């Protein structure tokens, strides 16, 4: 009679199928993701950095000046380059994936052997195996068995498949010579009799024998390990960095000193002395290069200021000289290594100034917020903080493409001069071109100026009101809502603003963000200040901001839209509303009237 398979063989076969399914579930999606990344490298990052349309279906209008177009193309090529994929982490992951495929191939070979063995016993027919007819006698059966034994016996045939074949021949011979097996074959088609279905768990035998250990491993790997791994991957930048890309130590120092950063010079000193700036170490031989750079920069003398700052660390002095070279646009004084250091520091300084604005806005520090935004513009647009913070209203014109200090002086002497950037943008194109005759601009430079005039922001507040949800009037201690609507007249219907024009900044993804600020009197000694960052790129934008009414009577406040990326483009409007003491009975009974209209709103032009 045929020998039944022991349980260990069934467990081994089941475990092979289990491992095959497990490895396939892990390797196939991983391989598809890697192939997609190799075939379309950086596609998602490029679309996120330079989208062609917003989620609302608005067409994004990017600046098409020659410098910005070249920077976007270079950045897209960098993001879509396959070279940036081959990092140490990527190579390590590819090695793990290759090992998984090798293991999967080995398991597949084992499964194929198991299937081949089971196929031998499928549709078992002893007459066919022995090469006999169904009317063969016992003598013929013994003769056929003897011949096949000589052919497939392991002692006669060293081939690995011969042993399997001999076992099959032996089983066929037993099925025809044993009366019980012969009867079972005649009735059920199987010499072992009727076969029942058996269900089992496809895990290795050691898993059945050590169920407690398997349960513990399951909890550790899947219940604890998987969530922790996801949290680690989502953290990405490590424990020393915050979500905004700034170090935790810097954020702690910023929170402690935010109230003291009341002007752009103090804000500049803070970022120059931060840990991010100190990471840019001085190389051997750079001291002389930095000394020559300091002497060549305008406004520097070897005695006086240099001696006063002699107690600074070398890395801080290096950061300061690089900052001055950038804001005074003297990149010609920098070598390749110093220019690379400057590009790296500029990215960190922009993140720092952004973080400074976020912290000061949460602390309601109006002067510190303005200083942080002013510093951000100087970093992005390569403008000297001393020029921007002074009363020189023509300094923002340096943001116009190809405008230098010398050309700015010639422009101011012309007949069609414009004192500020908004006035420059409002000039008709022909009138603006007429003032370029003495500047020596070429055709491409003139085209860049006109493109800048077309995409530069021209924002106006169309509506501003204060109201309390569900109330007819505004009372003291109410949480009122400031609603401001503004329009970007430089955009057409269906368009959205793209990245800001920043040709002197190494990155091409500086957003044109705005800050809505409400400055209102609290009492004679302090002010109430609230602000909110706006990233809506649409043409018509509506923003709401909650604040607490602290005064009684006519409240005169100032509504400001501060531009984060451009200097000289802020919009300020006066707003007044009437507040009164809350009726005690009305508050106790909760029977105030309902409505969404504002009460006593007045506008005062600047």
DSSP-derived secondary structure for 72-109: HHHHHHHHH-SGGG--HHHHHHHHHHHHHHHHHHHHHH
Q: Mean of the pLDDT values across residues 263-288?
A: 89
Residues in contact with 17: Cβ distance below 8 Å, sequence separation at least 6, in sequence order: 111, 202
Looking at residue 496, what is its pLDDT? 95
The CATH-assigned architecture of domain 125-188 is: Orthogonal Bundle (1.10)
Which CATH code is given to the segment(s) 245-284+314-385?
1.10.3380
Indicate if the pLDDT at residue 311 is higher than 70.
no
User: What distance, in Å, lies between the first and last C-alpha atoms of the chain?
Assistant: 107
Which CATH code is given to the segment(s) 459-579?
2.60.40.150
CA pair distance 574, 558, nearest whole angstrom? 5
Q: Mean of the pLDDT values across residues 320-336?
A: 92
Establish whether domains 245-284+314-385 and 459-579 are of one fold. no
User: Where residue 592 falls among pLDDT bands split at 50, 70, 90?
Assistant: very low
CA pair distance 218, 212, nearest whole angstrom? 10
CA pair distance 547, 529, nearest whole angstrom? 9
What is the Cβ-side half-sphere exposure of residue 435, based on CA atoms within 13 angstroms?
A: 23
* pTM for this prediction: 0.74
Indicate if the pLDDT at residue 595 is higher than 70.
no
CA pair distance 465, 576, nearest whole angstrom? 9
Q: How far is CA 203 from CA 12, 22, 99, in A?
A: 9, 11, 22
Residues 63-115 have pLDDT tens digits of 999 999 999 999 888 888 888 888 888 888 889 899 989 999 988 888 887 77
H or E stretch covering 127: helix 126-130
**Contact between 107 and 20 (Cβ < 8 Å):** yes
Q: Mean of the pLDDT values across residues 174-194?
A: 72
| Minimum mean pLDDT range among 345-354, 416-425, 453-462 | 416-425
Please give the distance of CA 451 from its chain centroid, rounded to a whole number: 30
Looking at residue 119, what is its pLDDT? 65
Residue with the larger pLDDT of the pair 114 and 345: 345
Q: How far is CA 78 from CA 41, 53, 74, in A?
A: 10, 21, 6
Q: Sort 394 into a burial class: Cβ within 10 Å, 0-12 / 13-18 / 19+.
A: buried
Indicate if the pLDDT at residue 449 is higher than 90.
yes
DSSP string, 295-322: HHSTT--TTTHHHHTTTS-HHHHHHHHH
Spans of all domains in the chain: 125-188, 245-284+314-385, 459-579
């Amino acid at each position: 009679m045929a020998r039944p398979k022991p349980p260990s063989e069934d467990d081994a076969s089941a475990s092979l199928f289990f491992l095959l399914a497990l490895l396939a579930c892990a390797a196939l999606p991983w391989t598809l993701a890697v192939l997609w990344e190799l075939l379309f490298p950086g596609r998602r990052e490029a679309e996120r950095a330079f989208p062609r349309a917003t989620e609302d279906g608005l067409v994004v209008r990017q600046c098409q000046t020659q410098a910005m177009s070249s920077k976007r193309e270079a950045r897209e090529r960098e993001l879509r380059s396959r070279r940036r994929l081959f990092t140490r982490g990527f190579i390590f992951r590819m090695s793990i994936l290759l090992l998984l495929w090798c293991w999967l191939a080995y398991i597949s070979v084992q499964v194929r052997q198991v299937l081949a063995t089971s196929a031998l016993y499928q549709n078992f027919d002893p007459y066919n195996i022995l090469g006999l007819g169904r009317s063969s006698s016992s003598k013929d059966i013994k003769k056929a068995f003897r011949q096949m034994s000589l052919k497939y016996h392991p002692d006669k045939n060293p081939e690995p498949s011969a042993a399997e074949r001999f076992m099959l021949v032996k089983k066929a011979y037993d099925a025809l010579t044993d009366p019980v097996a012969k009867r079972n074959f005649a009735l059920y088609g199987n010499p072992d009799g009727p076969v029942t279905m058996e269900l089992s768990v496809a895990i290795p035998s050691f898993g059945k024998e050590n169920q407690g250990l398997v349960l513990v491993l399951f909890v550790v790997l899947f219940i604890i390990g998987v969530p922790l791994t996801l949290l680690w991957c989502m953290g990405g930048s490590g424990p020393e960095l915050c979500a905004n890309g700034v170090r935790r130590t810097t954020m702690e120092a910023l929170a402690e000193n935010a109230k003291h950063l009341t002007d752009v010079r103090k804000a500049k000193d803070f970022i120059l002395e931060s840990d991010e700036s100190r990471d840019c170490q001085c190389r051997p031989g750079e001291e002389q290069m930095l000394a020559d750079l300091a002497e060549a920069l305008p406004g520097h003398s070897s005695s006086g200021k240099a001696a006063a700052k002699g107690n600074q660390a070398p890395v801080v002095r290096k950061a300061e000289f690089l900052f001055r070279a950038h804001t005074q646009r003297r990149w010609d004084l920098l070598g390749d290594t110093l220019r690379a250091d400057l590009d790296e520091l500029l990215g960190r300084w922009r993140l720092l100034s952004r973080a400074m604005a976020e912290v000061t806005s949460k602390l309601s520090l109006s002067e510190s917020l303005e200083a942080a935004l002013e510093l951000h513009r100087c970093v992005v647009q390569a403008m000297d903080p001393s020029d921007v913070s002074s009363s020189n209203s023509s300094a923002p014109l340096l943001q116009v493409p190809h405008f230098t200090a010398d050309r700015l002086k010639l422009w101011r002497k012309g007949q069609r001069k414009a004192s500020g950037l908004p006035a420059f943008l409002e000039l008709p194109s022909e009138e603006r071109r007429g003032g370029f005759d003495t500047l020596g601009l070429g055709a491409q430079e003139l085209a860049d100026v006109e493109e800048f005039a077309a995409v530069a922001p021209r924002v106006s507040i169309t509506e501003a009101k204060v109201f309390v949800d569900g109330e007819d009037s505004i009372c003291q201690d109410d949480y009122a809502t400031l609603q401001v609507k503004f329009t970007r007249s430089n955009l057409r219907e269906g368009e959205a603003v793209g990245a800001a024009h920043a040709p002197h900044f190494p990155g091409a993804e500086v957003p044109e963000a705005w800050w809505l600020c409400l400055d209102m009197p609290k009492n004679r000694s302090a002010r109430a200040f609230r602000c909110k960052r706006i990233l809506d790129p649409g043409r018509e934008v509506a923003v709401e901001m909650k604040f607490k009414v602290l005064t009684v009577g006519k409240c005169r406040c100032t509504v400001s839209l501060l531009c984060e990326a451009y200097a000289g483009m802020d919009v300020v409007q006066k707003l007044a509303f009437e507040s009164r003491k809350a009726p005690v009975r009305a508050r106790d009974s909760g029977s105030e009237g309902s409505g969404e209209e504002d009460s006593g709103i007045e506008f005062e032009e600047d």
